[in-house]
Structure 1
Amino acid sequence: MVPIPYWLTVLAWTSLLLAGISFIYIALDVTKHPQKMKIMTIVWPLTALFGSFIWVLAYKKWGENHSSEKMKMDGSMNMGSSNKSMAVSVFIGTCHCGAGCSLADLIIEWLLYFFPVLYVVGGYPAIFSHKLFSGFVLAFIFALIIGVSFQYFAIVPMKHLSRKEGIIAAIKADTLSLSCWQIGMYATVALCQLSLFPHFFGGEVLPTTPVFWLMMQVAMLVGFCTAYPMNWWLIKTGIKEKM
C-alpha cells in the first residue's frame, strides 16, 4: 500500500462522511415525500454519494416532492417538469445518468478488487497492458446496463411506451449521455492513478483506502460536467425527456 499523507486521509474521510450523511438524509426524506417519478427515489440518494451536501441542497430545491396534497385536491398527475427551467431539467437529467454510473462503479470496483480474474473479461492483458483500462470497459458496460434500466423506468411511464419501444428509447437517451459522463470520469481517474498518485505517493491507490473514493467523488463531479452539455442537447432535441 502506498504511503498517503495524513491530511489527505482526513480530508477523504470527511468527504465520505458528509456524502454518507447526505445519502441517508435523502434516502429517508424520499420515503416521507415520495417522488412522482418512482425511479428518482433511487436516483437522488445515489447522486449524494458524489455530490454530498451540495446535492442535498439541490434535492431540497428541485427534487423534494411537496405536491401530494395538491395533486389530491386538483387531480393533477403532471410529472412536474413543466415548471422547471431548462437548466434545472438538464441538471436532473444529468443526475439520472450519474446515479447509474455511481452504482455501477461502486459495485465494479469492489468486484475487481475481490475477484481480479474479472480483468480478463475486460481485455487485460490480451487488449490492454494496464488493468485500469480493462476496469473502464467493465464499468462502462455495467453502467450502461444500469443507466438504460433507469431510463426505461423513467421514459415508459411518461410516454406510455411498450416494452420494446421503451428499451429502444432508453438506449437512445442514455448511451450518449453516459459516454460523455464516463469520458470525464475516466480521464480524471487515469490522471490520478497513472500520473498524480505515482508521482506524489509512489503508486496507485486501492479501493480499500478512503483516498480512492475521494478520487471517485471528484471524478464523478467531472463526469457530471462533461455530461451536462450532452444532456442539454438530448433534452432540447426531444431524445431525452425533461424531468
Structure 2
Amino acid sequence: MIMQPTWLLMLSWATLFVGLVSAVVVVVDDLVGGYRQPVKVMELIWPVTALYFGPAAIATYNKWGKPQSPRWRERHGNPPKRSRRAAVVIATCHCSTHCTLGTIIATVTIFGVGSEIGGHTLWHEYIGDYVGAVFVGVLFRYSAEAHTGGRRVWTAIRTFARTDLLTVSVFEFALLIWLTLVHHLVFPEAPKPSNPVFWLIVQIGLIIGFFAALPATSWLIHRGVKVEPRGTPQ
C-alpha cells in the first residue's frame, strides 16, 4: 500500500468537508429557510452539485436557483430573466447529478463486494459509473412521468435517451479519461474509497466532466431538444 503525503491527505479532507458543508448550506436554505424550488428535482440537484463545486455551487444557487422560489418572489418580485448561459449551466447540473449519484452508487457497490477484473476494480468501476448514471437519469424521468398521470418506463427511457444521454455520455467519457490518467500516471495503486484522496480524485473528475458536458448541453438546447423546466418536476 502506497502512503500519500500528509499535505495531500489534508487537502482531500478539506475538499470533502467544504463540499459537504456547501451541500448542507443549500439544503438548509431550501428546507429550513423556506426557499423551496418550484421544480422539485432541483432540491436534489443543487446540493449534489455543491458536493463537488462547493462554494461555487452556492453562488450559482443564490443567483439562479433561489430566486425561482415562491418565498423569494414574495419578497422581491419576479426574478430577472435567465440567460441562455444560465439555462445551459442548470441543464448540465441536472445531467451531472445523474453521473454524480451513479458514481457514488457504483463505487459503494463495486468496492463493497470487491468486484475485480484481472485483479483491478477499474473496468468494473467504469462500467458501473456509466450504468449507474443512466439508471439514475431514467429514474428521474420515470419519476416525472408520475406527475403527468402515468408511470411509463419506456417513455422515461426514450425521454432520457433523447434529452440526456448525450450529455451524460460526454460527462462520463471525460470523467473516465481523468480516472485512467490518474491511475496510470499518478497512482499506479489506486486509492480506495476509504481514503479521502480517492474522493478528491473523483471530485476533480466530476468538475472536469461538468465542463466537458457544457458544449453538448448547449447544442441540445440550441436544437430545442432540451427545454428548461419551469414550475413542474423534470
Q: TM-score range by the shorter chain?
A: 0.7 to 0.9
TM-score with structure 2 setting the length: 0.86
1:144 and 2:144 equivalent? no
1:56-71 to 2 correspondences below 5 Å:
56-65=58-67, 67-68=69-70
Task: Kindly state the Cα deviation for residue 95 of structure 1 after the two structures are TM-superposed.
Answer: 0.3
1:190 and 2:176 equivalent? no
2:84 aligned residue: 86
2:110 aligned residue: 112
Structure 2 unaligned segments of length 5 or more: list them: 230-234
Distance 1:70 1:95 in 2: 22
4+ long deviations beyond 3 Å: 69-73, 151-157, 160-167
- Report the RMSD for the aligned CA atoms in angstroms: 2.5
Task: Kindly state the Cα deviation for residue 66 of structure 1 after the two structures are TM-superposed.
Answer: 5.4
Whether the 8 Å contact between 1:34 and 1:65 is mirrored in structure 2 is no
1:30 aligned residue: 30
Whether the 8 Å contact between 2:129 and 2:172 is mirrored in structure 1 is no
Indicate how the Cα distance of structure 1 residues 183 and 66 shifts in structure 2: closer, same or farther if over 3 A, else same.
Answer: closer
Of 233, 236, 239, the match for 2:219: 233
TM-score with structure 1 setting the length: 0.83
CA deviations over 1:179-220 (Å, ceiling 9, x no partner): 00001111111111122123xxxx221111111100000000
Which amino acid in the other structure matches residue 91 of structure 2?
G
Whether the 8 Å contact between 1:100 and 1:143 is mirrored in structure 2 is yes
1:1-243 to 2 correspondences below 5 Å:
1-31=1-31, 32-65=34-67, 67-68=69-70, 83-117=81-115, 119=116, 124-125=117-118, 130-153=120-143, 163=152, 164-198=154-188, 203-243=189-229
Distance 1:141 1:172 in 2: 17
Whether the 8 Å contact between 1:35 and 1:65 is mirrored in structure 2 is no
Indicate how the Cα distance of structure 1 residues 181 and 154 shifts in structure 2: closer, same or farther if over 3 A, else same.
Answer: farther
Distance 2:209 2:13 in 1: 22
Q: Determine helix, strand or coil for the equivalent of 1:64.
A: helix
Which amino acid in the other structure matches residue 96 of structure 1?
H
Distance 2:11 2:71 in 1: 42
Structure 1 unaligned segments of length 5 or more: list them: none
Distance 2:40 2:102 in 1: 20
Whether the 8 Å contact between 2:9 and 2:197 is mirrored in structure 1 is yes
Q: Identity across aligned pairs (percent)?
A: 29
Which amino acid in the other structure matches residue 172 of structure 2?
Q
Indicate how the Cα distance of structure 1 residues 105 and 53 shifts in structure 2: closer, same or farther if over 3 A, else same.
Answer: same
